[in-house]
Every structure is written in structure tokens, then in C-alpha cells.
């Protein structure tokens, strides 16, 4: 699934390129967007007492993005077990037509007390949505 956005001036640094830390925010924006499109708005999950904390982030920066560039973030479910979720990302700079970043985020599912849970056991409907979107990626 693709998420598109424009680079804001405040996201750049003194070298006039996007500061590396902002890419992590872009990944989160894209992940939340994709979950909405899948029918899993994050606020709904929180209302159900389900959290998806980030356990790790891995990014490889390829080419810089600058103010006013348009980027497209392709988001896919790389792995889903019901307990663990790994999302993979590719950021393309549509203004320059260059690959800007490849990365992934690792997550787990927890309750409000941050205790790990199995989404399959806690909310089978949400589990099915993740499972079906993961199968799309596998095929």
C-alpha cells in the first residue's frame, strides 16, 4: 500500500536535506495510514485495549530528500504471527525519481499494561485482517 506526502521545510536541517530522524516519523505516518486503509484504525485498537509498541527500527538511507519533494512510502507486512508484526518500507522520492530509504519496523501486540498478547486469541477479527493482508504480500 502506498502513502504519499510532501516534505515540509521544518523537516530539513542546516544542509537543506531531511534530517534522518524525520524518516522514522514518516514510517509511522505510513504505518498508521495503512492500518486505517486495512480497516484497523489505531484508535480503535487502543479502545479495544490493544497496543502495538515499536521494538526496533532499521533504516538504510539511500538518497536525500529536500523541502517540497514528494515522497511515496510503500508499506508491506513482512511478517505476522499474531504476537509479532514486522513492517517493511520503501521510500521513493517522486520529485527526483530516486530511492530514498529502505527499512523495517518490528512490533509486538500488548494489552494496556504492556504485557504481550496474541491478537488471534484476544481479537480474532483484527487478527484476520492482519492475516489476510499478510497473505496478500506472500502471494
Rg (CA), the chain: 16
Query: Which pLDDT value is given to residue 139?
Result: 43
Cell output for 118 = 496474541
Active site annotation includes 13: yes
Residues linked to residue 61 through DSSP beta bridges, in sequence order: 101
Q: Where are the domains of the chain?
A: 2-138
Given the residues 13, 68, 69, 113, select the one marked as catalytic: 13
Tens of pLDDT, residues 29-74: 999 999 999 999 999 999 999 999 999 999 999 999 999 999 999 9
Helix (H) / strand (E) containing 33: helix 20-38
Mean pLDDT of the chain: 94
Superfamily of domain 2-138: Hotdog Thioesterase (3.10.129.10)
Phi-psi region of 49 (alpha: psi -120 to 50; beta: other; left: phi over 0): left
Average pLDDT value for residue range 81-97: 97
The answer to whether residue 122 scores a pLDDT higher than 70 is yes
Cell output for 73 = 512510502
Amino acid at each position: 500500500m502506498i502513502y504519499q506526502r510532501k516534505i515540509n521545510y521544518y523537516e530539513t536541517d542546516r544542509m537543506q536535506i531531511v534530517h534522518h530522524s524525520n524518516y522514522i516519523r514518516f514510517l509511522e505516518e505510513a504505518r498508521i495510514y495503512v492500518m486505517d486503509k486495512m480497516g484497523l484504525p489505531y484508535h480503535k485498537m487502543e479502545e479495544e485495549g490493544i497496543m502495538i509498541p515499536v521494538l526496533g527500527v532499521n533504516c538504510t538511507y539511500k538518497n536525500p530528500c529536500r523541502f517540497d519533494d514528494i515522497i511515496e512510502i510503500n508499506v508491506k507486512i513482512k511478517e505476522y504471527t499474531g504476537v509479532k508484526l514486522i513492517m517493511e518500507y520503501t521510500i521513493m522520492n517522486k520529485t527526483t525519481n530516486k530511492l530514498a530509504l529502505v527499512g523495517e519496523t518490528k512490533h509486538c501486540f500488548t494489552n494496556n499494561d504492556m504485557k504481550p498478547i496474541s491478537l488471534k486469541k484476544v481479537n480474532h477479527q483484527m487478527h484476520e485482517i492482519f492475516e489476510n493482508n499478510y497473505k496478500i504480500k506472500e502471494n
